Structure 1
Amino acid sequence: MNKREELLSKGNINNSLLKLALPATIAMIVNALYNIVDTIFIGRGVGTLGIAGIAIQLPIQIIILSFSLLIGIGSSSMISRNLGKKDLEKINYIAGNSFFCVSILGIIFSILGYTFTSPIITFFGATDNIFPYAKDYAKIMFIGSLYFPFCVSCNNIIRSEGNAKDAMISMIIGFLLNIFLDYIFIFKLYMGIKGAAIATILSKLGSFIYILSYLKSNKTSLKIHPKYLIPQKNIIKEIIGIGFSAFAVQVSGSIVTIFLNHILGLYGGDLAIAVYGIIYKVTLLLFMPINGIIQGMQPIVGYNFGCNNIPRIKKTIRLVIIYTTIITSLGVVFGELFPSGIIKLFNNDPSLLSHGVKALRIVILATPLLGIQMTGLGLSQALGEALTSFILSILRQVILFIPLVLILPEMYNLNITGVWLSFPLADILSVIITLPILKRQLKKLNVYYNYEL
């Protein structure tokens, strides 16, 4: 048993979870800062319409991310469970098929996106004022989509091996490059929003190069060989089945964002779209630590489910709920106490500040509850429960949020305030529904464990 397998299956659970979750959490926070810093540079170097422009482009990024996670989450779950079964040959086929899939996806997104940029951003809600900013940013970003899916998917695979530190390093490289290049292209070369997009795709390229070097090193147990890249129908089908919930989470987020951009334009105009662009980036900083902890949890759950160590799974889940609740609670307290300081980071426009402070305070109210909902989703993915994970993935953003955002603005003439209130109400309702599902999952694990014994 190597050190990675020992980390997953033996020793203090708290230490194992921290060793896997801490690098993943740092990586997720870095990813959130990646987006926040980019928006700050654009807000201060381009202005409010620049922020609105990248808010319009946001669904495009989410769609690309969703397909990348479809492959990444599905393959990482399979790899973790097959590590527990010691099936190394199948692990190589899983990884090889995932590499094949994300390469095809990157080519498709890049060609179609670059060719049809204008109609895409119009459909996504760009107003006449925002259109040129969104187009300039999106067109360049589509070039980088050649290798974006590979980076996202491979980071999940790296974590599934227990090498969360290397996944973290790849993201930190991109983050540091992005800060430096944003400053150069926006404030020194005066390239505006185009400069921000070029900085982003070049910084992602840095992460891509690091991942390639990792795959060629002796740090990984994966073997890269042409025979493993040949598509295997049964493997790809299972990858998609497991990863579909992660895909649904992101796609539903994209659908909601497209829908929301139109609703915000109706009730609040360009300013409301810019406010949401900021709030989305800020709330990423709250959600990413949760995602990091969940990603640290999944290899432990998958491996121990594979070798039928159910008590270790249950103890891990309890720790995850505690950690996610504490972290998000601290984040919300900070957001509620210092909302104006947060908004001012992006732009000093008085209108943006007054609208942004009110909206931010409302949107983040129920965030501390979401650790429970996301733990239920992460557990379903790790156990390979495709249907349950799919339902939980669309519950908050589609099943609950969209009806609320249609109804609340019209109630008592709430208008834009009703839009912002839809966020915490959807959060609360999703947790109420997830709790019995999570209890059922834990009860099912008990039955499985007793049966095997």
Structure 2
Amino acid sequence: MTKISSKDLGTEPIGKLLVKQAVPASIGILVMSLNILVDTIFVGNWIGSTAIAAINVVLPVSFFIAALGMAIGVGGSSIISRALGANQKGKALKTFGNQLTLTLLFTITFAILGLYFVDTLIPAFGGKGNIFEPAKVYYEIILYGVPVLGFVMMGNNVIRAEGKPKFAMYAMLIPSIGNLVFDYIFINLLDFGMAGAAWATTGSYIVSFLFILWYFLSEHSELKINTSHFRLDKAIVSEIGALGFVTLSRQAVVSVTFLLVNNALYNFGGETSVTAYAIVGRMSMFALFPVFGITQGFIPIAGFNYGAEKYQRVKEVIYTAIKYATVLAAIIFVVLMVFPEFITKWFTTDQAVTEVTPNNMRIAFAAIPVLALQLIGSAYFQAIGKAIPALILTLTRQAIFFIPLLYIMPVFFGEIGIWISFPIADVLATMVTYYFLRRELNTLEKNI
């Protein structure tokens, strides 16, 4: 096998390189999304529709704590990509060591806090009535594995920053496939119910962690660190924190959004509306996998070439990524508009749920074609180390636009106003992103 070097990020043709980076990322996200999708189908059919709502209630908490690992991974990976592009190997190694230390400290601390406040957090996130008990069972087991998940999310981003998309893909495939196998064993064969669903997820990430550990100890990784690299460096921690805060803010806002939407929908339609939102949420990750894949593939290319001051290549990869992602988003839009009834019946046969979900799905995904520019634009600023615009663009979609709309629209339109808020926020956020990205492209033109 020909050894792949990070230097390829600065030399290969952009179109070919983006495909090489994006396809493995897309496959990894697809399988991970299928895992979430099938996991939800298994839970809905083998345990019941209330179990789907219970998992959706738990997601914001575990998602946020796991996002700590992702934030440290994305923030540090931006530094690593640019450092490798500028031939600063020492800085890349020190950054990786600091990422490991920070991940350990933060994920364990927040997992302990999450377990301590379990009875407060679950009702706050919509786990009320019949949803509470299954949500609590799932929540407690999931949090035991959250520190492992944090390492998986951090390590995956570092592997991608090294320009090794296939290994990053494997790191995503392993927990996805493992979770489905464990689901069948723990839920269907052993009849462990919600506990089985939780242990299946936790066990799958432990297997992925072992793979990532093997990767960094093997010859495939360029980042061979020693104990001195684990000592926290103020400047590096500050930069990881600034860039990682963008990702953490995005995930935190996602968690808050889940909390607000779950509670708002529960007030209007009870458990049926919460379950409908759980299904739409699962489809959001699944449907947009190729767009997310292009975004993931785009980040190390943009970061490496920006660090190497190859601004023409930076400009080219921005345009290419937006073009590819927009075409794919348009195709996804058509599928979701035509087949929502068929998609809903994958998850449940509950008549109340199948009646309300399809129309809500159409509304929620109405602005998908414009999202490509918003995702690529916000990812670009994070890739090149510009934390402030990256943070602003990350918060526009949900914090600045969606959450206020969530309170305003139901006043005039009732429950349907909640669903209408999704596409309106998407369009407004894309407009803001276009303004920032246009200014950045003009700056790049002057430096070419």
**Conserved? CA contact 2:4–2:164, under 8 Å:** no
Partner residue, 1:445: 444
| Residues 102-111 or 250-259, more deviating | 102-111
> In the alignment, which residue of structure 1 is the partner of 2:69?
68
Aligned to 1:13: 14
C-alpha displacement of 1:149: 0.6
Pairwise CA distance, 1:3: 4.4
- 1:289 is displaced (CA, Å) by 2.4
Output the CA distance in 2 between the equivalents of 1:104 and 1:289.
33
Consecutive aligned runs of 4 or more in structure 1 exceeding 3 Å deviation: none
Amino acid at match of 1:52: A
**Corresponding residue number in structure 2 for 1:213:** 214
Tell me the SS of whatever aligns to 1:147: helix
Question: Which AA in structure 2 matches 1:432?
Answer: M
Cα deviation per residue 1:390-419 (whole Å; 9 max; x = unaligned)?
A: 0000100111001111111121xx211111
Separation in 2, partners of 1:306, 1:357? 46
State the SS of the aligned residue for 1:146: helix
Partner of 1:285 in structure 2?
286
Kept in 2, the 8 Å contact 1:29–1:285? The answer is: yes
User: C-alpha separation between the residues in 1 aligned to 2:165 and 2:110?
Assistant: 28
CA contact (8 A) 2:68 2:107 kept: no
Aligned to 1:249: 250
Q: Does 1:105 align with 2:106?
A: yes
SS of 1:129's partner is helix
Cα 1:3/1:174, change in 2 over 3 Å: closer
In the alignment, structure 2 segments of 5+ residues that lack a partner are: none
The answer to whether 1:357 aligns with 2:354 is no
**TM-superposed deviation, 1:130:** 0.6
Q: In structure 1, what is the equivalent of residue 78 of structure 2?
A: 77
The Cα of 1:106 is off from its aligned counterpart by: 2.4
Equivalent pair of 1:105/1:149 in contact (CA under 8 Å): no
For 2:421 and 2:136, how far apart are their aligned partners in 1? 29
Q: Deviation per CA, 1:283-319: give whole Å up to 9, x if none.
A: 1113332222112111111111111111111111111
TM-fit CA distance, 1:19: 0.9
Separation in structure 1 between the aligned mates of residue 51 and residue 138 of structure 2, nearest angstrom? 9
Q: 1:186–1:192: 8 Å Cα contact kept in structure 2?
A: yes
Aligned to 2:422: 423
Partner of 1:300: 301
Deviations 1:333-378 (A, max 9, x none): 1111111111111111111001111111111110111000111101
Tell me, yes or no, if the aligned pair for 2:62 and 2:143 is still in contact at 8 Å.
no
Residue equivalent to 2:129: 128
Aligned CA RMSD, in angstroms, stands at 1.2
- Counterpart contact for 1:332–1:367, Cα < 8 Å: yes
Paired with 1:126 and 1:89, the residues of 2 have a C-alpha distance of 48
- CA contact 1:66–1:249 (8 Å) conserved in 2: no
Distance in 2 (alpha carbons) for counterparts of 1:6 and 1:84: 7
8 Å Cα contact 1:343/1:353 also seen in 2? yes
CA contact (8 A) 1:26 1:168 kept: yes
2:53 is the counterpart of 1:52: yes
Deviation of the 1:198 alpha carbon: 0.5
The residue that corresponds to 1:384 in the other structure is 385
Paired amino acid for 1:160 = A
Partner SS, residue 361 of structure 1 = helix
Contact 1:109 1:142 in 2 (8 A): no
Residues 103, 147 of structure 1: 8 Å contact kept: no
Q: How does 1:361-372 map to 2 (within 5 A)?
A: 361-372=362-373
Taking the aligned partners of 2:70 and 2:378, their CA distance within structure 1 comes to 14
Query: Please, which moves more after superposition, 279-288 or 69-78?
Result: 279-288
Aligned to 1:41: 42
Matched residue pairs, number?
446
Q: What CA distance in whole angstroms lies between the structure 2 residues aligned with 1:61 and 1:445?
A: 39
* Counterpart in the other structure of 1:344: 345
**Is 1:72–1:153's contact at 8 Å kept on the other side of the alignment?**
yes
Cα deviations across residues 51-74 of structure 1 (Å, max 9, x unaligned)?
110111111132123312220111
CA distance in 1, matches of 2:362, 2:287: 13
**Per-residue deviation, 1:379:** 0.7
Name the amino acid aligned to 2:432.
Answer: I
Does structure 1 retain, via aligned residues, the 8 Å contact 2:93–2:223?
A: yes
Change (3 A) 1:6 1:225: closer
Find the aligned partners of 1:91 and 1:62 in 2 and give their Cα distance: 27
- When normalised by structure 2's length, the TM-score is 0.97
Q: TM-score, normalized by length of structure 1?
A: 0.96
